[in-house]
Amino acid sequence: MELKPIIAVKDLHFSYHKHTVLEGVDLSLHRGEVVSLLGSNGCGKSTLIRLMLGLMHADHGDIWLNNKTINNYSHKEIAEHIAYIPQYHNVPFNYTVMEMVMMGRVGKLGFFAAPSHKDREIAHESLHRIGIEDLSSRPFGQLSGGQKQMVLLARALTQEVDTFIMDEPVSGLDYGNQIRLLGLISELSTQGYTFLKTTHYPDHALMVSSRVVVMNKGRIIADGKPDDVITTSMIHDVYGINADLVSHNSHTWCIPSFAKGIQ
């Protein structure tokens, strides 16, 4: 018997100022999956995420979270099930890393309640699991982009949810931090955590995904296993470039081809 999805999107439509952004989108997310959402800029990925988080309302269709329509959840209740990790994160105050991670407990405590010893233990454990305990007293604003993303992932763990939505999590990170973050996502998925992440990198989708979903012009045009979905024809149709797919040491890599300029 097929397990029921954590999140199910059914026939979703959304327009902005009479411009169609999403048209008939169906998507499901199951426990322990890492689902990569690919597509060119403006295809509707970020809009879909906002709708799934209850930040906007669809023109037509339904979004179900644990068998209950998203419209029946408050924002606080959604945060008890889903952690959102944004692409960029600038804060107006110079919070420490520990203070940032402790913000993951706000949904449990309320804004004015003092954190308990248990709350602090949960935050410390999250820092430990991500491997950044040594940053706990550092000002968040002084961290590198990769370190900030690790802190935001620790904050999400501190929410004590098991579903994460990440909007281009490796954007702006150097190569080493990109791979480290992808490794953490892969490791956490083996522990039962579920991820939906948008990405512009077919290689990253091939590395860590259990499923790949491709959007184009507001529609989902492919949804399946990474090696089945990421093909040379898909890359050409979605991104307008030619590329080769090369296998090495059980991994598949996407190598774009282009003519070099005259030297």
When pLDDT is cut at 50, 70 and 90, the band that residue 259 belongs to is low
Amino acid sitting at position 169: P
Does a structural domain hold residue 36?
yes
Does a structural domain hold residue 51?
no
- How far apart, in whole angstroms, are the C-alpha atoms of residue 162 and residue 54? 18
- How far apart, in whole angstroms, are the C-alpha atoms of residue 122 and residue 181? 21
Does a structural domain hold residue 17?
no
pTM over 0.85: yes
Report pLDDT for 62: 95
Does a structural domain hold residue 49?
no
Does a structural domain hold residue 69?
no
- How far apart, in whole angstroms, are the C-alpha atoms of residue 131 and residue 188? 13
Does a structural domain hold residue 191?
yes
Give 97-145 pLDDT, tens digit per residue.
999 999 888 777 765 667 788 989 999 999 998 889 999 999 998 888 8
Give 139-189 pLDDT, tens digit per residue.
998 888 888 888 999 999 999 999 999 998 888 788 888 888 899 999 999
CATH number for the domain spanning 35: value is 3.40.50.300
Does a structural domain hold residue 102?
yes
Q: Are 8 and 63 in contact (CB under 8 A)?
A: yes
- How far apart, in whole angstroms, are the C-alpha atoms of residue 97 and residue 49? 26
Does a structural domain hold residue 154?
yes
